[in-house]
Structure 1
């Protein structure tokens, strides 16, 4: 047989479910900024401040002490115990047997989905939503349906009846992110109670992404109301620890540890052995020295977190005032997270708009379409920075709109 008679090899592609995943439009906008001088980046979900020194020093000490070896799949026992105490103080008694440490919050979301979702399963997600949550079940072959928040005079709100109607008995899993990225919407206690009862009735797994739970502003100033809530409403306040509820959290937001890639899961104890197997076949374990620093964050970081929330609330209020004065901008102050998700002229084609703002005035914000079709018409601005930088960004937005309006 000659070479010409050999079969032509097929193109080496990934499987269809992976090829169909949405690429990150936030990254697409950021890539448009490469080579552009003096870009003000508000597109990513992280503060411009470094992790506080007491946490960094703890990691350095752990490295110096030789904490460089493998650890337990579910996390070192002292960290699981510290997290159980921390969760218990916020949401009621929690045992270390219900806590697992993961290599980042997004890894926790993937593990949670792998635990309960398979090919052909039906998943419901409340959107607009950080794309990872919607795409993760698709990697596993699940079918994802969405229920959109509605935007109005009171900002972003949930149509609870529409959500309940979507949660049919054949639904395997519900995904809720509150406080929400990108909108800042916070699910109320009554809404959580209603949804939890419905999921119990139909045996639906509820996966709650609560990584922004500490970034909550309903009463962030204790002197304003006489009381102070340290956290947004959580499903952990209502659900027993051995129900079909998996809560995902992260060290990234409350302690400014985005680059450390460490998260945790609170889940039924009956899942832990199987979760340990999944961790083994994904990452094996989180780094030992990072886990040691995380103990310091949990045990010594409360004052830092509360001060961070006050700073973020001040930045939020400052940016809302500044943007509200820009003609054509419609913005509402959200109750949680670290973003404003607002409409402006040209946002009906938000990806194109955001790329143009980067090129023309060096302003980097995230397109609403990055968070699903329900986000189109809006842009996301991360306000986790000082007010001087926010003011500079607003001036560039005004310049951009003036240039577009000029004949």
Structure 2
């Protein structure tokens, strides 16, 4: 018998006589010592850890998370509530309620250039589980994933959790914004590369991959058998078009392409944890099996909220995009007045400003100093990949009044 927390062991062959030999190990064993190396090696430091000490401080203007201050619209909340009262509280279909999947397929068919059939849609408990499913589907221990950065840091942890490795390919910052050189992506691939991950529009940059670049990535994937994982969560938050270019426009149904999306941003449903993944139709049963072994299915009544969001939410999507655009203008106008700040080009999508500070070497310490002096919470650039140590990320999905106060404070802090 082993007691791992204390290192205490008892020889079982002597238990029958009522006697035992007790041996104490020289070092107490901690529970953490028994955790897989892949989990233990993931840094505990993240944006949430930075913000934890200030969660309940009402003086702070929190611009560090990818979350706005607009609550979920009433018609979505009502649909969820009504679904609960109607008894839709039992297990659901593992790919999602068929009616919901068909609504999603019709929505994507109308939004993009190519039709999408229901067999390609699996509903997930948010965008994060969709990404986790995509990585679990494609990556074995020891394989690697090419990650296009600057990028939201959670993808790195997900790859590590399954025993994979990450390889960073950084976008180039030019006067025209962030540009991806696909030749650099190809050069980073080898025989153990199983997937290429990127977000378009990007978090934290707001960068949108052009159709030409997407076609180059798709061609690379087809030639090598490498999967493309496209995070399109911000696809409707474009300031100059209804929707940004999608891999759904250029790929065939059975291409090795996985597209993840979420209701969190455009429908302001971050707390509801509802998303979806578009996959080849031949994987429909496989995805159902994977959902069975992870969540057993997305919360049933929340899916009725998703149906309402698609059926009735187009005006709200337009509102959210306009809300973010107004926030972007307030923030970028103020950043232009700060001599130490460099913002090569204003973002054309998403909800973030990602800007460089002259003379700043440690973005974490800078965020702590700004938090202390101005009561504004920002995210340090180093979370988003190597080369971003002099950058800060600011979420501008907030009320104009709050952003104006925050920017006046930042002007003073960064003068």
Residues 275-318 of structure 1 show CA distances to partners (whole Å, capped at 9, x for unaligned) of 11111111111111100110010111112112221221122122
**1:158 to 2:180 alignment:** yes
Residue number in structure 2 paired with 1:71: 92
Asked if the contact 2:340/2:414 (under 8 Å) is kept, the reply is no
Shift of 1:150: 1.9
Moved over 4 A (4+): 4-9, 34-37
**1:327 to 2:339 alignment:** yes
TM-score, L = length of structure 2 = 0.91
Asked if the contact 2:205/2:347 (under 8 Å) is kept, the reply is yes
Residue number in structure 2 paired with 1:87: 108
Which protein shows a greater Rg?
2
Pick aligned residue for 1:281 from 286, 290, 293: 293
Shift of 1:24: 4.3
Asked if the contact 2:142/2:192 (under 8 Å) is kept, the reply is no
**1:190 to 2:202 alignment:** no
The 5 Å alignment of 1:224-373 reads 229-331=241-343, 332-345=345-358, 347-373=360-386
RMSD value, Cα: 1.7
Aligned-partner SS, 1:305: helix
Residue number in structure 1 paired with 2:128: 106
The 5 Å alignment of 1:141-180 reads 141-180=163-202
User: Would the alpha carbon gap of residues 5 and 128 (structure 1) be closer, same or farther in structure 2, given more than 3 Å must change?
Assistant: closer
For 1:401 and 1:2, the matched residues in 2 are separated by 66
Residue number in structure 2 paired with 1:127: 149
Residue number in structure 1 paired with 2:404: 391
Aligned-partner SS, 2:357: coil
Residues 192-216 of structure 1 show CA distances to partners (whole Å, capped at 9, x for unaligned) of 0111011101111111111111111
Residues 166-194 of structure 1 show CA distances to partners (whole Å, capped at 9, x for unaligned) of 23454211111110111111100100011
For 2:56 and 2:257, the matched residues in 1 are separated by 46
For 2:57 and 2:302, the matched residues in 1 are separated by 35
For 1:5 and 1:170, the matched residues in 2 are separated by 44
**1:380 to 2:393 alignment:** yes
Deviates more, 1:314-323 or 1:277-286: 314-323
Asked if the contact 2:144/2:194 (under 8 Å) is kept, the reply is yes
Q: How many residues align?
A: 392
Pick aligned residue for 1:12 from 6, 31, 35: 31
Structure possessing the higher relative contact order (Cα contacts under 8 Å, 6 or more residues apart)? 1
Instruction: Specify every segment of 5 or more residues in structure 2 that has no aligned partner in the other structure, as ranges.
Output: 1-19
For 2:410 and 2:37, the matched residues in 1 are separated by 40
User: Would the alpha carbon gap of residues 377 and 36 (structure 1) be closer, same or farther in structure 2, given more than 3 Å must change?
Assistant: same
Instruction: Specify every segment of 5 or more residues in structure 1 that has no aligned partner in the other structure, as ranges.
Output: 220-228, 403-407
Higher helix proportion: 1
TM-score, L = length of structure 1 = 0.92
Asked if the contact 1:368/1:378 (under 8 Å) is kept, the reply is yes
Deviates more, 1:146-155 or 1:263-272: 146-155
For 1:298 and 1:18, the matched residues in 2 are separated by 37
Shift of 1:36: 4.6
Residues 256-283 of structure 1 show CA distances to partners (whole Å, capped at 9, x for unaligned) of 1110001101001121212111111111
Asked if the contact 2:324/2:350 (under 8 Å) is kept, the reply is no
Asked if the contact 1:33/1:362 (under 8 Å) is kept, the reply is no
Aligned-partner SS, 1:341: strand
Asked if the contact 1:123/1:142 (under 8 Å) is kept, the reply is yes
Residue number in structure 2 paired with 1:60: 81
Asked if the contact 1:33/1:359 (under 8 Å) is kept, the reply is no
Residues 220-245 of structure 1 show CA distances to partners (whole Å, capped at 9, x for unaligned) of xxxxxxxxx32111111100111100
Shift of 1:137: 1.3
